[in-house]
Each structure stands twice: as C-alpha cells, then as structure tokens.
Amino acid sequence: MLEFLINPKIITLIIFILTYLGLIFFPKKRLVFAGAGAILIIIFGIINFSEIFSVIDWNILLMIFGTSGLVILFSESKMPAFLGEKLIEKAPNFQWAIVFLSLLSGFISAFLENVSTLLILAPVALSIAKKLKVSPVPLLITIAISSNLQGAATLIGDPTSIMLGSYANLNFLEFFFLNGKPGMFFAVEIGALASALIIYFLFRKEKQPIKTDEFTKVTDFFPTILILLMILSLICVSFIKEKPSLTNGLICLIFFVIGIIRDLIVKKDFSFNKILKNLNCETLALLFFIFIIIGAVVKVGIVSDIASILVSLGKGKIFLLYSIIVWGSVLASAFIDNIPYVATMLPVISSLTAKLGISPYLFYFGLLSGATLGGNITPIGASTNITALNILKKEGYTVSFKEFAKYSVPLTLAAVTSGYLFIWFVWS
C-alpha cells in the first residue's frame, strides 16, 4: 500500500486533480492553487529544479508577453475602440453587436495570439456593457470563446497549430489548401459560423438599441503598423523548416520592444509601471505554474496513458478511431492543457496511421480541432478563458463554473460538431 502511495504517477495524479479542482471551484484563488500544485510537484522531486526550464514553454510565454505588450500600445492608440465602434454602428441592436464582436474576435485570432485578441476587444465590450448598464460577463465569455474557436484556422493563430505545422511540415498556405483539398481553415470557419448562430439564439432577447453618438479618434497609427508587421513576420517564418524553438516568441518580443523604444522617444511621460500593470502578469504566472504541473503529468506518463487508451478503444475502425480522437481530445483538453496533449498525440497518430496505411491528415486535423476547441468548455481549459475571468474579476465580477458553461458548452459543441463532420467528409 505504501509503495502505491509513493508512486510518482499516483502522487502526480493526486496533485493534478486537487489543483484543477481548486482552479474550478475557487476561481478567486486560482494562482494560489496553481502555485501550490507546482511547488508540491517540485518538493516531491517529480520535476527537479534542473528540469523546470525545459518543461516551461517559453515560446508561448514570450508570444503572450510580446503580443500582450504590443496590444497595450495598440489599445492606447484608440484603434481597437474605433474599429469596434465602426462595427457596432452596423448592428441594429445589442444582440447583433455581440454576434459582430464575436466574429471580429475570431477573425483577429486567426492571425494573432488568442489572449491578445481578447485584450484588444475587451475594452470595447466593457464600454458597451457600461453604456447599456448590463453585465459584461456574457460579452467577454463569448469573445474569449470565439477567439479560441478560430485560433486553429491558420498556422500562426494558436500554439497547437504551430506544433502541428512543425511536426507535419506544413506551411502557412497549406492550412488553407492541402493536396488539392480544403484544409483546417475551412473546418474552423464552418465551426465559427455555426457558433455565431448559437450566439444569435442565446441572445435572442437582447434587443436593446445601440447608438454611437461619436467615434473615438485614433491618436497613433504606429502600433497598428507594428502589429501588421509582426503578423507578416510570423507568416514568413512559418515557411522556414529549421528554425529555433523560440523564433515566434522572440519576434513578438522584438516588436514590443520596438514599440516601447519608439514611445520612449515620442512620449516623454511613458511609464513602465503602466505597461507592467496592464500586462496581466497573473495570467503569465498562472500559465508558468500550470506548465510545471503538466510537465510532471507528461513525465510520469499520464498523458501518454490517456492517449494510448483513446487510440486502443478504436479497434482499427477508421471512423471510430477518428471519433475517439476528436471527442476524446475535446474531453481531455477541457481539463488538461492542450499543448502537452497535442505533443503526445502527434507521434501516436503518426504511428497509428502508418500501421493502417492511411493519410495522417484526417487524424491530425481531427486532433487539432478537438484539442483546440475543447479547451473552451471549462474556465481553465484555455489561457484566453483564464484571462477573460481575470479581467472580469478586476471589474468586480466573479464567474461560476455553471455560468461559464451556459455559454461555453453550446458554442463548443456547435463548432466541434460542424468541424468534425466537415473534416470527415473531406479527408476520410
């Protein structure tokens, strides 16, 4: 019995479960639970101090840090508010405004990191909520989910897309068309349209008119230029087969630094404290701790066990295997960070499809769809969701698991189901 209790896999599983239960049921103490879980992992020696650097995905943290910082400069230029107001001007009422903002969120996140997309549109959503004297909770949740839904549309929209592109040697254009067939982009966009219909239905009673008396004046176009150049750079490097693992993160960081230097020269009252205050360091710290916990889960073989079980249940039947990979990924990524999960499943799928003698792209795209979209179901399934809840927390709103699921479950199921069918009929 003692040997069972001191088994690293059992210890890791217990810490993992307790940590995630804390994240779910005590949203105000998320950082405390994640930090405690990471410390316990280190204390028990499951992850040594020498291994901490390797289990942290620094590329993703640098991408979030760099793009988030650039988005702060972008937001200060008033461009996001201007774009949001122009879009909302076309909306006849609050219901359509939510649909338009969700679609805009999805479009931006196809080219920008999802958290940054949320940070761009969150001020617009909060402003609308204050004008109409309604809760901003549903607005921010739908924007966050919409950004997650379309993150996998392009090679640079989501870390899991970057991983798949690297593993399968796909370039930016092959996410649109591959081997003469429509690729991942179209599967994601069909899911986005399906989720937009769900949003329209969920807010069918919100008919309050929105009147925009005057538009925000854009004060600086330089941050917009920097963001466009950053996106172009990320697209260009996607065609480079052999590049350092920190390439994307460094690109985002460099453009942020350029923005800071330019502001230091142009604006004499530039404040680093203002940047640090708005960088949402809590989110970065939370992800840092979660990476350590997930690193332990991967190291002791729990994620591998989950992947093996999902695949073995298929019994060689293509449609059954495909269904297990998609829906199993949805379930797993609702609670487990999708990055290590995808990293584990990619070689499993490669080996499996080689034995079956079939093209791997059906399962690759199914995995990406399920793992990326499944994170929307729970508040801690995606970093964008965590960020949205932190923003709402600062505004004085605490979101329960039940309230989050009210919007996340139908939107995710609509997007996954439509993408699931599209991928099967095109790639089977």
For residue 100, count other CB atoms closer than 10 A to its CB.
18
Which three-class secondary structure state does DSSP give residue 172? coil
b/e sequence 128-140, b meaning 16+ C-beta within 10 Å: bbeebeeebbbbb
pLDDT of residue 375: 77
**DSSP alpha helix (H) spans, 58-183:** 58-76, 79-89, 94-109, 114-132, 137-149, 159-167
Average pLDDT of the chain to the nearest whole number? 81
Closest CA to 13 of 374, 311, 300: 300
pLDDT of residue 340: 65
Taking CA atoms, 28 is separated from 24, 79, 389, 396, 399, in Å, by 10, 32, 10, 11, 10
Q: Supply 134's token pair.
A: 């309604």
* Cα diameter, the chain: 71
Question: Residue 368, by phi and psi: left (phi above 0), alpha (psi -120 to 50) or beta?
Answer: alpha
Residue 387 DSSP symbol: H
pLDDT by residue (tens digit) across 364-422? 999 999 988 887 888 877 778 888 888 888 888 888 888 888 888 899 899 999 999 99
| 294 vs 176 pLDDT, higher one | 176
Closest CA to 264 of 78, 73, 120: 73
Cβ–Cβ < 8 Å for 64, 287 = yes
Contacts 24+ apart (CB under 8 A), 222-227: 222/77, 222/259, 222/262, 223/70, 223/73, 223/74, 223/76, 223/77, 223/79, 223/259, 224/74, 224/77, 224/79, 226/70, 226/73, 226/74, 226/255, 226/258, 226/259, 227/70, 227/71, 227/74, 227/112, 227/255
Cβ–Cβ < 8 Å for 413, 191 = no
pLDDT of residue 254: 93
Every domain of the chain and the residues it spans: 2-427
pLDDT of residue 268: 66
Within 8 A by CB and 6+ apart from 1, the residues are none
Rounded to whole angstroms, the Cα distance separating 129 from 66 reads 28
pLDDT by residue (tens digit) across 30-41? 788 889 999 999
Within 8 A by CB and 6+ apart from 44, the residues are 8, 11, 15
Question: Residue 169, by phi and psi: left (phi above 0), alpha (psi -120 to 50) or beta?
Answer: left
Taking CA atoms, 134 is separated from 23, 127, 129, 139, 206, in Å, by 27, 10, 5, 10, 10
Residue 1 — pLDDT band, cuts 50, 70, 90?
very low
Rounded to whole angstroms, the Cα distance separating 161 from 287 reads 19
Cβ–Cβ < 8 Å for 105, 95 = no
* DSSP assignments along 20-31, one per residue: HHHHHH-GGGHH
pLDDT of residue 2: 44
pLDDT by residue (tens digit) across 273-332? 666 666 667 767 877 888 888 888 888 887 777 667 766 776 668 898 899 889 988 888
pLDDT of residue 284: 77
Cβ–Cβ < 8 Å for 87, 206 = no
pTM of the predicted model as reported, rounded to 2 decimal places: 0.75
